[in-house]
Structure 1
Amino acid sequence: MTDVDLNMMPVSKARRRVWHARREKAQDIAAARDLRLTVHVSMDALEADWRALEASSATSLHQGFDWCAAWAATHSSQLLLVRGSIGPKTLFILPLELVRGRLFRTARFIGSPHSNLNTGLFATDIDPLTCEQLASSLIAELSAKLSRVADIVTLDKMPFDWHGTPHPLTSLPAVRNQNSSFQLPLLANFEATLAQLNAKRRRKKFRVSQRRLDALGGYEYVIAKTPQERRQILDLFFEQKAIRFKALGLPNVFQDRETQAFFHALAAVEPTAEGQPLELNAIRLRGEQNGRIVAIAALSRKGDHVICQFGSIDENLGAEASPGELLFYHIISRYNAEGMTLFDFGIGDQAYKRSWCTVETVQRDIVLPLTLRGRLAAAAHHTAVWLKVGIKKNKKVYAFVQRLRQGRQTPGTAETDGD
């Protein structure tokens, strides 16, 4: 409702306006009380509403129908798709899956371990007052619907302000995630985009990388076009990343077959005008090393928003040329020319992201306990986040942890640009 100056109206008309405004607020509250939650285990029945809601620029691509369908098709976890409606209107969908741990049963966003930001799916015309009422009703409704199967609901990695739109669940209690995500706005042209950064230094690094790769016989920037090329590059990424994780003594989050099948399913989807679930980019050598790929980056696009999902480099050849940095230079330049407006390096605070990005987006975790065990799980979650944030804020402690990781590194390996 637009603002109106009541002092400029006749008294009777002003009173009617005030009365109507109060009645509208009362209707919003009453409507929020009429919120009806249903839980679905199949995506098919929700597809039409789902695709309508995901069209909003404020909705993360990680909650898109095709993204979630690919995860569901390659994983055996039980789906808990929460639909909130008032009358015939679908207000929101929370696409959750049930994960059973040793102690707790957690309902979380589908595929959350491999998402960079989560929003859920919400109608764009929800009134702010209704949002507050919906958020307060949601806790009780979720407890009533899910407490028999889940101990806790975790809505993690949520930006409370995304694309200039406050999230409808901002009034719920939340803890700041230990990691932010990092973005680079893409301006009218690549020169203007680089001007936000240290453009001179950025171009110099690009030329140095080119000269070093020229010494190996030259290179080409590759975008995988055919299904076979996508499969080959993606399989090579899994190999390169396994070597990297082993060198650092870290668990390989890409090693299980279900996760690899998920990304292969995304890569098989052809691009459209609206976006592409997974695009494979690479730096491929020429000369004596003809055909050898030394850097890979996987990207997802929704509208004019591009997210880097993951990247890797060849640890044994050309690492000193910073091929990952070179690859990002080519990728960002291309997307800038194609009219994209935001390049997102995803979640995780790393030096190479800060060197490229001018925007840091704070993300938050909403943790809703449904049972007594859920309260214990929520306390454990908050404690873990608190410890991680504390370590990262203390430069000496964080540096010590990083040195421990580096100490596990095998001789001859080098830092990648895209970890």
Structure 2
Amino acid sequence: MLASGKMLPDEYSYSFVISACAWGKLIQFGEKFHGRVLVGGFCSNLFVQTNLVNLYAVDGVKNAHKVFDEMLDRNVVTWNTLVAGYVKFGDIDGARKVFDEMPERNIVSWTVLVSGYASNGECKEALGLLREMLWARMELNQVTLVAGLSACAEIGDLKMGRWIHSYLFKRMPLKSTVSWTTMISGFAKQGRGKDALSVFQWMENTQDDGSKPDAITMLVVLYACSHSGFVEQGRSIFKNMNKVWGIEPKVEHYGCMVDLLSRAGLLDEAHKLVESMPMEPNDAIWGALLGGCRIYKNVNLASQIAQKLGNLNLDDDKAAAYFVLLSNVYAGAKRWKDVADMREKMVELALKKPPGRSWVQIGESVHEFLAGDWSHKHGSLIHEMLLLVTVEARLTGYKPDVYQAAQAYVDP
């Protein structure tokens, strides 16, 4: 069109071509067209500028925000584009700031931020925003509900999860692979393996090409089998992944199977599966097998795994976790010298085990706790109550290790 010289592009031409550059992640081409937009005097056009924000948001938020700030007129689509850009690059605080400044919001605005919170592990914030949506009388869509359900599964907000479950399946005429998978994941993370497998079987029996199980579905189903001890079901599902659904198992699927077999005490079978893998086992694979060694006190296999883990380049948190796990294996076998060697090794490498974390739901609120953390506003009262429980345990003749563990938590 430019080469012919017979017709000059207008704002619509540039709007579409810049949108194409954004979709194709062709930033350099987009910058050239941006220059032509400036020369042609189309920089005040709302659609052109919105697509420029979308273009620059592909590569980062700084230039996108610069174009946004230069705009004299903005609509909700422009604002949503900027929020999505911040979410894409993991700057949830930046996304929330833009969201709070929006003069008008639609379902996309809310959904982008809820999904952003959930995918970045800020599950309490995701559910808080979901409740704000309900108070604002916003109609929830499938993406929002799936993100909310994932957040419920992650922190154990069973009450909200049940409400979303009811809302999701009553009002969703077409259930996608994502919605089915999220439901299965929610049940699996709550330890409700039978329910997870029931939903999976329901999904399998649904005659809908748009909701066939995918690799992630298989992963959460195997996870459910692993944490519920369903060995035979896990074997069958793993075997049928490729045979029935044409899904080639990845290292994560092997990891779930190794975890399942290890938890069930089938360490030889688990080890053989690791040796037969078509890819190199990663630390998660060896860690799952090591966990089985701790439960069933298989010191010889644990020592072999330790050598395998030693050849991997692990970050400090993972290395510390595996050292502690191996130390526990040795302690279970009363090999105290090996325990001392592991602890000394951790000191030499300046490794610290990441603190344990748990959540407790009371009414509408979910409270998060870290081991040894006193930051909770009711921390003093909680520890006073724990001390009373400890004393009562002693008076009623509970086993020493029970109240000693509680006392160690109260006064480490």
Class of the TM-score when normalised by the shorter of the 2 chains:
under 0.3
Structure 1 or 2: more helix by fraction: 2
More relative contact order, 1 or 2 (CA 8 Å, 6+ apart)? 1
Relative to the length of structure 1, the TM-score reads 0.26
Higher alpha-carbon Rg: 2
Structure 1 or 2: more strand by fraction: 1
Relative to the length of structure 2, the TM-score reads 0.26
